[in-house]
Chains A and B, each alone.
Chain A
Amino acid sequence: MRDDCCGEIIAGGVEKLIIRQKSDGAIELGNLLVEERNEGKLFLQVFDLLYGSQISQSSLENISGMRLEGSGVGLDFVEPHLRNYVLALARSILYLTGSPHNPKILPNFMGSVRHIKKEDLNFLIKPNNPLYFGKVRTGSKTLNADVYLEGPDVLSHHILIPATTGRGKSNLIKVMLWDVLDKDFCGILVLDAHDEYFGTAAALGLRNHPQAANYLKYYSPRVSAIRGAVGLVINLRSITPDHLKGIVDFTETQRDAMYLAYQVYRENWISEIIRDAPINSDVEGGEPEIRIARGTLNVLRRKFNRLLGVYFDHTDNQLKCRTRAFSDTVGESTVTQIIDTLEEGKKVVIDTSMLEDQTELLIGSVVAHEILDRHKSAKEEGILETKPVISIVIEEAPRVLGDEVLRSSGSNIYSDIAREGRKFKIGLIAITQLTSVIPKTILANMNTKIILGNELATERSSIIQSASQDLSTDDRNIASLDKGEAIISSNFTKFAVPMKIPLFEDIVKDMKTSPNKKIAVVT
């Protein structure tokens, strides 16, 4: 018997192995165990725990009754460790014989198992373009083994982060972005609905990264308060009717009106609608034939007012924007600059906390359309390989990927990217509390899922059904995940890796202070 043995396999089959825990074996739900064999190592994961006893149930009930009712003072079991014990239910998750592969054998009957050690995970090699997620976890303990996956593969095949509130979604995103911030294999666009990623004087954020000045660009409508931030102002000429597709509900008549306005006024179409310009299809002269009903134009104007915050101020005859996020005079190059920044492998955070939901999605849509167009052209020109993968972080993903919205408003740029983005090195990092409302066809394209704790059984069921590995026995595991604990299930991992996500604040505080910056100024 090995000194480090924590149990023995006593029964079961491929789907469920039963392990008797050694009295001091301390097996926890989610523990990774190892059975050592001559040919290699078989990795097991515990998915349930229950009691076992050599004493019949009626005797146990009797003994308990005597104790409870005061007749069994001093009553105890002889050699209790032998008679009563814990049984762990586990399944094989990986067979390591030189290289890791899916297990197709049973562990040795009555074979001993031990807790996993860091050295057992030496096969987890840091990839060339590493994307960091956290450290391997066994039950509630964290091993000093990092979880890295090949960034471009994982990002272009989309990531889904399903979790309910307070389970550490934002922390996970910050940890991932922090590690990848100065790595130029990927550009990441974050639509930050809560303005929580960049950081403030009071809260640590990505701006505390030593390379933030070179690799991070922050756009915010509250620019005057934040030195170094770029004003989030998008010129109305950057928006086309296509950008609104699937983002905002329009009737067919309204859609036709928008396309006609675009045909007549090209990039000035929104300004002209807001200015109440006449819109007709006969632009070359002759008797203008008004094609758009006044009522339709009024509705469009109202919708743009609500969506973009833009209106025409008759006092000074100027187009104005309540949120300052849109303009007809400045911000012409904002979208281009964002995409250029992303294509340099940098990270862009857009603070959309002051904007309406749909406005945030529209800004993302404008940028995403342009990225997709640019990458499609790059593919045609044969230069896509020189481009970094671009990933877009989108919160509350069902707003654009939900079954209902896709059925009522049709596809949108986000669903297009989910379906075909990987061909063009564009991916999504979709965060959601409700996996169940995302169509299976889209979930199937999300090839990496970082599963955080979730108390909703229907949501767990959706996650399990769409996972890259068989997680059919992991329902309890997922339900019991504490804050910061996760399971990563991916086409790019050999097994669903339990992991612990470090606290972002700890990473920042642990960061070695960079040497004093030398400045040389020349007059």
Chain B
Amino acid sequence: MYKFAHITDCHLGAWRNPKLKEINLKAFQKAISICVEEKVDFIAITGDFFDVNVPELDHVKRAVDIMIQARRHGIEIYMIYGSHDFTASTVSIIDILHSAGLFIKPIEFEQIKDKIKLKFIQDKKTAFKITGLSGRKTGLDSEYYNLLDIEALESEEDFKIFLFHAPISELTPVDLAHGESIPLSLLPKGFIYYGGGHLHRRIEHKHDDGKSMIVYPGPLFGSTFTDLEDTAQGERRGFYIISYDNDNETIRANFIETKIVDIVFNTINVNQNTVKQIEDKISSMVEQMEDLTDKIVLIKVKGTLASGKRSDINFSRFEETLSAKRALVSFINRNNLVSPDTTQVKVFGTSIEEIEKKVIKERIASIKIDPAMTDEKVKNFIKSKLISEHGEFTANKLLLALKKEKIENETLDDFEKRLMHEAKSVMGLSDINKEIK
């Protein structure tokens, strides 16, 4: 009997709030400690280990310290990139940690003509053959999967594990349906285990008439308030320990919860309410809330204001009250509270990220190439960077690049240069300059 752990979407460093950041790390620490206790043979991490490709160094240090515990117990770690911690243009912290020998990246490949031949890495303890594909930018995943040398992958003998970081169309929950996904038919056949990342939801699926499993463990804690809301509504967070019985050739997935704190979540629906009425509603709810010690408290206010602006509501005083009730962290989500005084909201979403993506999608849809434009090179550049899905990708990446914060001890000049470099890289400005020259 062999067993390995499957962890994904840790998003270490995701939270600005230091308490949430710490909880996220604690969840990872808990997962690794359980792996050590359970004496797993290896750990597979399927992407988005860090929230960004170059996270704050103190978080990197803490993460490395935790991973070293596993390594000291002889537990090998296999890790692929996710969409958050991967970058094509600069070195990611994953590359540095990999170079330091902290873990193995089972994503080596050979490019033979127009095919990608993935190489297998054989785990020394279990003899399982591991390979995988990292997360890619939106819309590019299918392209990579289409290029795979499937015959080579499927004809490889022995027990095989495929690690990937992409949603699968047929398995994606309805509330996560918007966005790119790959069809199940693009996964190579004949693997005993398909370890997935990217979807922040726990999914177990018996594949190939029950001969194998596709599993998404979901995040250990979560990286957005939507994740936390889902957790509060019953979504369990944790990771999997997968047992494989060689004799019977049976695979069993055991979910291990990594709950660190309780989360309380309430929704307040308003309909054409005044600022005062809404404040009264929130106040009344906050007053009634009890036993909040060391809990995360989330309140979502949604609906329409009769008059005034969202900023007229003094949300911070409620957060202070919750803090006085010893809540560990409190947050009042007002993204879905619509004010008549502001420009009509054309898109709706449950998180800032979702709304940003929708707005970008809508705006990009209206960008067309001027038919009078004759320069083919410029036209091609616009097509490849600024319109349709490519435009959405550029805009989303640019937004992400410009959201980065100044690193401790980084000079303003260096910070500016770093942002500029990332932005230019996202925009491909050096490419167009070369092309046009």
Residues of A within 8 A of B183 (CB): 223, 228-231
Write the nearest CB–CB distance from A116 to chain B, whole angstroms: 29
Q: Does B107 interact with chain A (Cβ within 8 Å)?
A: yes
Pair A386/B144 contact, Cβ less than 8 Å:
no
Residues of B within 8 A of A213 (CB): 142-143, 146
Residues of B within 8 A of A333 (CB): 169, 172-174, 176-177, 181
Pair B111/A233 contact, Cβ less than 8 Å:
no
Residues 35 to 53 of chain B near chain A (Cβ within 8 Å): none
Q: Mark B178-189, 1 if CB is under 8 A from A, else 0.
A: 100101111001
Residues 102 to 123 of chain B near chain A (Cβ within 8 Å): 105, 107-109, 111, 114, 116
Residues 499 to 523 of chain A near chain B (Cβ within 8 Å): 516-517, 519, 521-523
Pair A522/B111 contact, Cβ less than 8 Å:
no
A332 with B346, Cβ < 8 A, contacts A184-B388, A226-B185, A519-B147 known: no
Pair B114/A334 contact, Cβ less than 8 Å:
no
From B114, B146, B176, give the contact of A228 (CB < 8 A): B146
Pair A381/B185 contact, Cβ less than 8 Å:
no
Q: Mark A264-275, 1 if CB is under 8 A from B, else 0.
A: 000000000000
Q: Does B270 interact with chain A (Cβ within 8 Å)?
A: no
Pair B346/A521 contact, Cβ less than 8 Å:
no
Q: Does B88 interact with chain A (Cβ within 8 Å)?
A: yes
Q: Mark B156-177, 1 if CB is under 8 A from A, else 0.
A: 0000000000000111111011
Residues 325 to 349 of chain A near chain B (Cβ within 8 Å): 329-334, 336-337, 340, 344
Q: Does B411 interact with chain A (Cβ within 8 Å)?
A: no
Q: Does A317 interact with chain B (Cβ within 8 Å)?
A: no
Write the nearest CB–CB distance from A221 to chain B, whole angstroms: 11
Q: Does A295 interact with chain B (Cβ within 8 Å)?
A: no
Write the nearest CB–CB distance from A388 to chain B, whole angstroms: 9
Residues of B within 8 A of A230 (CB): 169-170, 183-185
Write the nearest CB–CB distance from A338 to chain B, whole angstroms: 10
A522 to B144, CA, bound (A): 11
Pair A231/B177 contact, Cβ less than 8 Å:
no
A214 to B143, CA, bound (A): 9
Q: Does A227 interact with chain B (Cβ within 8 Å)?
A: yes
Q: Does A408 interact with chain B (Cβ within 8 Å)?
A: no
A517 to B169, CA, bound (A): 26
Pair A336/B177 contact, Cβ less than 8 Å:
yes
Q: Does A479 interact with chain B (Cβ within 8 Å)?
A: no
Pair A337/B146 contact, Cβ less than 8 Å:
no
A282 to B377, CA, bound (A): 68
Q: Does A383 interact with chain B (Cβ within 8 Å)?
A: yes
From A184, A214, A229, A519, give the contact of B116 (CB < 8 A): A519
Pair B177/A332 contact, Cβ less than 8 Å:
yes
Chain A binding surface SS class:
loop
A214 to B389, CA, bound (A): 9
Pair A519/B88 contact, Cβ less than 8 Å:
no
Pair A228/B177 contact, Cβ less than 8 Å:
no
A223 to B107, CA, bound (A): 26
Residue of A nearest to B183 (CB): A230
Residues of B within 8 A of A231 (CB): 169-170, 183-185
A373 to B389, CA, bound (A): 25
Pair A383/B174 contact, Cβ less than 8 Å:
no
Write the nearest CB–CB distance from A115 to chain B, whole angstroms: 34
Pair A340/B362 contact, Cβ less than 8 Å:
no
Write the nearest CB–CB distance from B106 to chain A, whole angstroms: 11
From B109, B170, B176, give the contact of A334 (CB < 8 A): B170
Pair B170/A340 contact, Cβ less than 8 Å:
no
Q: Does A382 interact with chain B (Cβ within 8 Å)?
A: yes
Pair A340/B177 contact, Cβ less than 8 Å:
yes
Interface residue tally for chain A (C-beta within 8 Å) = 35
Most buried by B among A333, A382, A522: A333
A337 to B105, CA, bound (A): 32
Residues of B within 8 A of A122 (CB): none
Q: Does B400 interact with chain A (Cβ within 8 Å)?
A: no
A233 to B169, CA, bound (A): 10
Q: Does B17 interact with chain A (Cβ within 8 Å)?
A: no
A386 to B366, CA, bound (A): 8
Q: Does B344 interact with chain A (Cβ within 8 Å)?
A: yes
Interface size class of B (residues with CB under 8 A): 35 or more
Residue of B nearest to A336 (CB): B177
Pair A332/B105 contact, Cβ less than 8 Å:
no
Residue of B nearest to A333 (CB): B177
A381 with B346, Cβ < 8 A, contacts A233-B170, A333-B176, A386-B366 known: yes
From B142, B144, B362, give the contact of A521 (CB < 8 A): B144
A330 to B204, CA, bound (A): 10
A519 to B117, CA, bound (A): 13
Write the nearest CB–CB distance from B183 to chain A, whole angstroms: 4
Q: Mark A436-461, 1 if CB is under 8 A from B, else 0.
A: 00000000000000000000000000
Residues of A within 8 A of B177 (CB): 332-333, 336-337, 340
A523 to B109, CA, bound (A): 8
Residue of B nearest to A225 (CB): B185
From A184, A334, A382, give the contact of B169 (CB < 8 A): A334
A231 to B366, CA, bound (A): 32
A330 to B344, CA, bound (A): 36
Residues of B within 8 A of A334 (CB): 169-170
Residues of B within 8 A of A233 (CB): 170
Write the nearest CB–CB distance from B78 to chain A, whole angstroms: 14
Residues of B within 8 A of A336 (CB): 174, 177-178
A386 with B362, Cβ < 8 A, contacts A330-B171, A340-B178 known: yes
Residues of A within 8 A of B150 (CB): 227
Residues of B within 8 A of A229 (CB): 183, 185
Residues 302 to 346 of chain B near chain A (Cβ within 8 Å): 344, 346
Residues of A within 8 A of B111 (CB): 519, 521
A521 with B116, Cβ < 8 A, contacts A223-B184, A330-B205, A381-B346 known: yes
Residues 215 to 261 of chain A near chain B (Cβ within 8 Å): 223-224, 226-231, 233, 235, 237-238
Residues 309 to 363 of chain A near chain B (Cβ within 8 Å): 329-334, 336-337, 340, 344
From A235, A329, A383, A523, give the contact of B105 (CB < 8 A): A523
Write the nearest CB–CB distance from A426 to chain B, whole angstroms: 18
Q: Does B365 interact with chain A (Cβ within 8 Å)?
A: yes
Pair B184/A332 contact, Cβ less than 8 Å:
no
A317 to B174, CA, bound (A): 25
Residues of A within 8 A of B105 (CB): 523
A382 to B181, CA, bound (A): 29
Most buried by B among A223, A227, A331, A386: A227
**B residues neighboring A (CB under 8 Å):** 86, 88, 105, 107-109, 111, 114, 116, 139, 142-144, 146-147, 150, 169-174, 176-178, 181, 183-186, 189, 205, 344, 346, 362, 365-366, 388-389
Instruction: List 15 additional A-B contacts (Cβ < 8 Å) besides A330-B171, A336-B174, A523-B105.
Output: A213-B146, A214-B139, A223-B185, A228-B186, A229-B185, A230-B184, A230-B185, A331-B170, A333-B174, A334-B170, A336-B177, A337-B181, A386-B365, A519-B114, A521-B144
- In the A-B complex, the 10 residue pairs with the smallest Cβ-Cβ separation, listed nearest first, are A333-B177, A336-B177, A230-B183, A332-B174, A333-B172, A231-B170, A223-B185, A333-B174, A230-B169, A522-B88
Q: List 15 A-B contacts (CB under 8 A).
A: A213-B143, A228-B186, A229-B183, A229-B185, A231-B169, A238-B174, A333-B169, A333-B173, A336-B177, A340-B177, A383-B346, A383-B362, A386-B366, A521-B116, A523-B107
